[in-house]
Amino acid sequence: MLCLASQSESRMAILRAAGVPFDAMAARVDEDSLKASLLADGASPRDVVDALAEYKARKVSSKQGGLVLGCDQVLVFEGTIFGKPTSPGDLRDLMRHMNGRPHKLLTAQVLYKDGEPIWRHIGRVDLTMRVLSAAEIDDHIETHWDDIQHSAGGYHAETTPHLFDDIKGDWFDVLGLSITPLINILRAHGAAGTAKRPVLAGVLGCPIKQSKSPILHGTWLWQHGLQGMYVPVHVPKDQFERTIRILRAAGFAGCNVTIPHKEAALACSKEQSAAARAIGASNTLFFRPDGIVADNTDAFGFMENIRAHRADWSADGQTCLVLGAGGAARAIIFALLEDGAARVFLSNRTSAKAETLAQEFGERVHVLPWDARSSRNTQIDFLVNTTSLGMDGQPSLEFDLSGLRDTTIVTDIVYKPLETNLLLGARHMGCATIDGLGMLLHQAVPGFEGWFGTRPTVDHALRDAVLA
Q: Which residues have a catalytic role annotated?
A: 262
Question: Between 127 and 328, whose beta carbon lies closer to ligand NAP?
Answer: 328
Interacting residue with ligand NAP among 65, 100, 369, 395 (CB under 6 A): 395
Interacting residue with ligand NAP among 87, 350, 378, 457 (CB under 6 A): 350
Q: What angle do CA 331, 332, 336 make, to 5 degrees?
A: 125
Residue 328 touching ligand NAP (CB under 6 A): yes
Nearest distance in Å: CB 127, ligand NAP:
34
Residue 189 touching ligand NAP (CB under 6 A): no
Nearest distance in Å: CB 460, ligand NAP:
17
Listed ranges 150-158, 381-389, 403-411, 457-465: which one lies at the site for ligand NAP (CB under 6 A): 381-389
Listed ranges 10-18, 243-251, 346-354, 420-428: which one lies at the site for ligand NAP (CB under 6 A): 346-354
Residue 175 touching ligand NAP (CB under 6 A): no
Give the x/- contact pattern for ligand NAP in 291-320, rule: CB under 6 A: -------x--x-------------------
Residue 348 touching ligand NAP (CB under 6 A): yes
Three-class SS of residue 168? strand
Interacting residue with ligand NAP among 107, 374, 386, 408 (CB under 6 A): 386
Distance, CA of 236 to CA of 135 (rounded, Å) = 12
Residue 415 touching ligand NAP (CB under 6 A): yes
State phi, psi for 110 to the nearest 5 degrees. -130, 130
Interacting residue with ligand NAP among 70, 123, 232, 324 (CB under 6 A): 324
Distance of CA 64 to the CA centre of its chain: 38
Interacting residue with ligand NAP among 388, 401, 419, 429 (CB under 6 A): 388
Question: Between 122 and 281, whose beta carbon lies closer to ligand NAP?
Answer: 281
Listed ranges 164-172, 191-199, 206-214, 385-393: which one lies at the site for ligand NAP (CB under 6 A): 385-393
Residues 6+ apart with CB under 8 A from 244: 204, 255, 268, 285, 292
Question: Between 15 and 264, whose beta carbon lies closer to ligand NAP?
Answer: 264
Q: Which of 36, 39, 57 is nearest to 47 (CA)?
A: 39
Question: Between 132 and 367, whose beta carbon lies closer to ligand NAP?
Answer: 367
Residue 94 touching ligand NAP (CB under 6 A): no
Nearest distance in Å: CB 267, ligand NAP:
17
Q: Which of 228, 234, 243 is nearest to 210 (CA)?
A: 234
Q: Burial code of 354-377, b = ≥16 C-beta within 10 A, e = fewer?
A: beebbeebeebbebbeeeebbebb
Residue 389 touching ligand NAP (CB under 6 A): yes
Residue 353 touching ligand NAP (CB under 6 A): yes
What are the residue ranges of helices labelled H in 346-412?
351-361
Residues 6+ apart with CB under 8 A from 111: 57, 67, 68, 69, 70, 117, 118, 119, 120, 182, 185
Q: How far is CA 290 from CA 144, 271, 286, 295, 353, in A?
A: 34, 10, 11, 16, 36
E strand spans, 84-227: 102-113, 116-129, 164-168, 199-205
Residue 439 touching ligand NAP (CB under 6 A): yes
E strand spans, 179-267: 199-205, 228-234, 254-257
Interacting residue with ligand NAP among 177, 322, 337, 391 (CB under 6 A): 391
Checking 424-433 for CB contacts under 8 A at 24+ apart, the result is 425/399, 425/401, 426/383, 426/401, 429/401, 429/404, 430/406, 431/404, 431/405, 431/406, 431/407, 432/309, 432/310, 432/408, 433/409
What pairing do the DSSP bridges indicate for beta strands 432-434 and 409-412?
A: parallel
Distance, CA of 205 to CA of 287 (rounded, Å) = 17
Question: Between 221 and 328, whose beta carbon lies closer to ligand NAP?
Answer: 328
Nearest distance in Å: CB 74, ligand NAP:
42
Nearest distance in Å: CB 153, ligand NAP:
35
Question: Between 269 and 443, whose beta carbon lies closer to ligand NAP?
Answer: 443
Q: How far is CA 334 from CA 70, 137, 296, 457, in A?
A: 54, 41, 11, 24
How many residues interact with ligand NAP (rule CB under 6 A)? Answer: 25
Residue 327 touching ligand NAP (CB under 6 A): yes
Nearest distance in Å: CB 58, ligand NAP:
51
Site residues for ligand NAP per CB under 6 A: 298, 301, 324-329, 348-350, 353, 386-389, 391, 395, 413-415, 436, 439-440, 443
